Amino acid sequence: MWARVARFEGDPADIDARVERLRSGLDAGTLASELADAKLLMLVDRTSGGMLGVALFDSEEAMRKADEAMNAGPGHAGSRTSVEFYEVPLHTL
């Protein structure tokens, strides 16, 4: 398993609106098709307005393809400040 972890900054007052934009995109199926098989987690810090988006993939290739698609698409979670990639050698999901 592989993980793409993106860090976002934004106004703490906008956390709910940013989460709702992401949820609406998921519900409407308008997010990148490369995310279809990914498991998604969104972590929020309501004090700072920071968010971490974690997308889990079955392969490194799937993660890289999804990264390309997400980089090309509109941002929904706020101002992205970093993206990191990890191998996930242990998980219980």
Averaged over successive runs of 10 residues, the pLDDT of the chain (93 residues) comes to 93 90 81 84 94 94 90 66 93 81
Separation of alpha carbons 68 and 89, rounded Å:
23
Query: Which sign does the torsion angle of CA 58, 62, 68, 74 carry?
Result: negative
Domain boundaries, the chain: 2-87
Q: Tell me if 86 sits within 8 A of 55, measured CB to CB.
A: no
Rounded to two decimals, the pTM is: 0.84
pLDDT of residue 81: 83
Q: What confidence score (pLDDT) does residue 75 get?
A: 58
Amino acid identity at 38: A
Residue 85 confidence (pLDDT): 97
CATH architecture for residues 2-87: 2-Layer Sandwich (3.30)
